[in-house]
Structure 1
Amino acid sequence: MNIEQHKQDGTAPLAPYVLRSIRLIAAGEQTGMSDVDGSNRNDTEDFELLIVKSGMGQGKCYLQRPGKSLSLDQEVMGCSYYRVSFVASGDAASGLLPDKQDLACAPFAKAVELLDELYRLREASDQLELFQRFVRFQELLLFLFRQNAPAAEEKETDTERYGVEASIRHIHQYYRELLTVEELASLAGIDRWKYTRLFKEATGQVPLQYLNEVRINQAKKWLASADDKLLDIALNAGFNNEYYFNRRFKQTVGISPGQYRRSRKGQLRLVAPYLEDFIVALDMLPIAQYWHAKWGKQDYLGLHHIPTFDESSGNFEALSDYKPELILLMDRYKQQQYSQCRRISSTCILREQTHNWRKLLQTVAHYFGRTELADEAIARYDFKARSASHKLSRVMKDETVAFLRISADHIIQYTDEGQGFVSTVLYGDVGLRSHSAAGAASKAYRPGMFNLSVEDLCTLNADHLFITFDKWHSQAEGKERELLGQPEWRDLPAVRNNRVYEVDFLTWLNNGIISNGKKIDDILRVLA
């Protein structure tokens, strides 16, 4: 049926390509080229794309057809890569797929942008996000089809695309030289006004922004691997002088070239209150760690030899005793405290407030040139969560779970409507079934967090209870535990059946990658 017939019938053609799954495989993770549901590749109709995101084989792209084996270099198997599984409907759809294993994939940054978005949307349930995922996947295939089509089928418009790609290759080869937009447009054979638009469509950046990023990335490599003078690195990367290099580097990366170099060597004297989870996950150590008068420190990180800094005092001038080179802060403090930090040392503020710990980890990793470590850590966590979810689904059946944060004055329940801390792990990542006390929704003071009274407890019929104690409101030692002696508590089904599990406060009320991994360990220890 042609497009005119579709118009007459009032119907749209069915989607010829359907995404089945997308996985980010960490370097060294053992995985066979089988479908995610465990079936053998030879028995499925799935196509698979393997795109190497980081490591020695970065930028390589492979297509595996149904029933075919895929021969990969050993260096690729030691890299982090995306694995995308999809089905193609009909001969016409299959005919568009390149008849080769190794695919061109340039500019690679565009492919990574699409893959990262698809991976973020892999668990989407909202209709708009599902549609967004569908569109982005079609864009990814179109991106690959256009540059891997047979030469005889190339359209005239391909000339412009290849011109832009030629200019991108020119930037990567001659970034040390003085390059102008006019020169790049001339090289591409495209009018300047049109070239800038096409370049941005292909890379997401205008030409000079892209050039600056290439130069900064080259400088990062030399800062991490050599002890050359900053002036030499600046000139070799294409900057006219050290001052301009320093300014552009800090604008792009967030810290100075010298701080970046020391962070890569583990020599940066860094303080990052309540961000230590991310710092340790990126294989770094702070010179002082967060401590709170009521909550203590994050013992689960094992930083027993690192001195503590009392964040709850509100006086950040004490940080000067540790002589930090960089202070990294969340955007949650008073202006006076930021001013105190700036008088002590270079201070970076993470302005974006987010419950998405993956995004926050990647932001912190970008500061210190450790994005590959972040990607690998996230892939390992996702693998751990998938394994835990599969195991728990077999043993929990229809049993329900609730989480309570208990203080002297409050009982707060975290439910599956929450976006951070406990909820995303307990009910999202490992897929446990939430139970809410009846009527609790009317007492919500934050999404997914309900303030319960002692009387409300009679409606809390969860099969399992995870609890942690908050000392914030305690005027005397142990005041927060008095609830455990009340009859309303002792009558709870989970209490009567000995299914109440106390967990560490800061481990469960932190939203870092390490704390979330510890949560999964705690859950498996008592439920599996």
Structure 2
Amino acid sequence: MPPIVQLIRIRPLMDPLIDKERNSEAGPREALSASSEDHHLLVATESGGWIAAGGAPRPFARGRCLLLPPGARIEWLPTDASAPPCKYWVQFKVEQDDAGLFASPAELRFEPLSRLEADLRELLSPGGDNGSPEQPPPEDGLARFHRHIRFQAILYELLAQQSAGRQEPESDPAIEQIISYLHQAYSEEIEFDRLAQEANLSRWQYDRMFRTITGQSPARYLSAIRIEEAKKLLASSSLRVGEIASRVGFRDEFYFSRRFRQSTGLSPSEYQASRQGPRIISIQYLGELLALGIRPIGTNSAMFAALPEAADAVRGFDEPYDIRALSELRPDLILYPSYIERQVAERLSRIATAVEIDWSADVYTRMLRLGELLGKAVEAKQWIAAYEEKAKNARRRLQGIAGDGETATAFVYHSGDLYVYAGHHFGHTLYRGIGFKPTRRVQAIMEQDRNAKWVRIEPSELPEYAGDRVFLALPETGFEGERGRKLLNHSGWYGLPAVTEGRAYVMSDMWANYNPITLEKHLDEIVCRLIAD
């Protein structure tokens, strides 16, 4: 049976699409959610941009059309914030589609585009903007019937051109490689003449083919990439505008600011102020904030040993805390752990609102508490679910390697003493992540205090706590590392069955930090070590 299609409404878009959302990494995007019952047809404008429909963003330039089934969702990343992303938006209902012609999203090209635009303008003519279901266009039933037929003819030709292979010119592999290169090397000095030569193309051919594929000139395309990367840094770091300009490939800060304002309508400083949330100083909870998509303006420098990726974008400070220096950062909120002395906490509260976070709480509790406090409750739950799924995949990979019911114990050498981990830190990875069982002595510690971090023991007590597998976290360098490695020659260690049977693992003490980002990395490290064993 042929499909039956009913036109519901059609309208020209004079303003950017639908719902503006904030993305913590990528800045503002336009989002369209198709209704649960209706189909949609979008026709792109000159401004171009990128669309993401559940996958990686891809170019969506003038002349391209997008068919969306009910419930579909796309994100639009415009290259020009002042221009609407689509020229026409058509909403229609498919009452019968046995062949599944409208069952999935499809990106099409109508040729010639001028005829498609003329046809759509004619469909609009009876009532101007026919977009309101509450105010249908003033036309009789026969005229409405005719409009439905004309719209079905448009859909037929779109699908027919797709079937005939006319909807999209062939992409040149050399241009596709150049596009990929621009996304990777946008921060470097780009010479388009050299890229054209390497592709064995004249500059004229190169420009024409590039514009055909992307809808933009190479220079404008590269500028759009750089602006998008700048948005990410402006929204997630406290870097100065000049440094951000340099990082994304603009050698002149003033030119960068001018191009940024042309693209977004805001100066970089205005954009940064509008996109960043509260200015947060966090003592110890850097990993939790990063997992929630929040980058604080400052943290204690000790956190960078576990999270070096944040060192370039977050200001570090050392203990004892310089209250005057912290005040100069102009924070809106200070997060501090419950072990901070009361007089220090009082001084912090004179700078900004200061909130104590329970240092003894497990990482899930911390995430939920911070998520509630910072308006990121959904993100907190999402991280917990994602970690549980990652742990499940880790256990699946270790089937047949780490046996059911196998016990394991983690120890750490810290500040001249030896500790055994309970259910937090390294213990979280072993017991809640990988699924090892704690030994009887470790279980007793956990039952006595479910938030126990670790317990100091003597090297001679190692056999009382050690499981079928043992893990020892040691400093890698320095005096502490040298002293810690002496444990490996202690009879309490080398006499363990796990050591003599090759089931002992010496790890870096960087894994001893207890935060969401490190726990994810730790899972990967443990799996790799056990598989390689």
Fold similarity call, TM over 0.5: no
Whichever structure has more strand as a proportion of its residues is 2
Measured against the shorter chain, the TM-score band is: 0.3 to 0.5
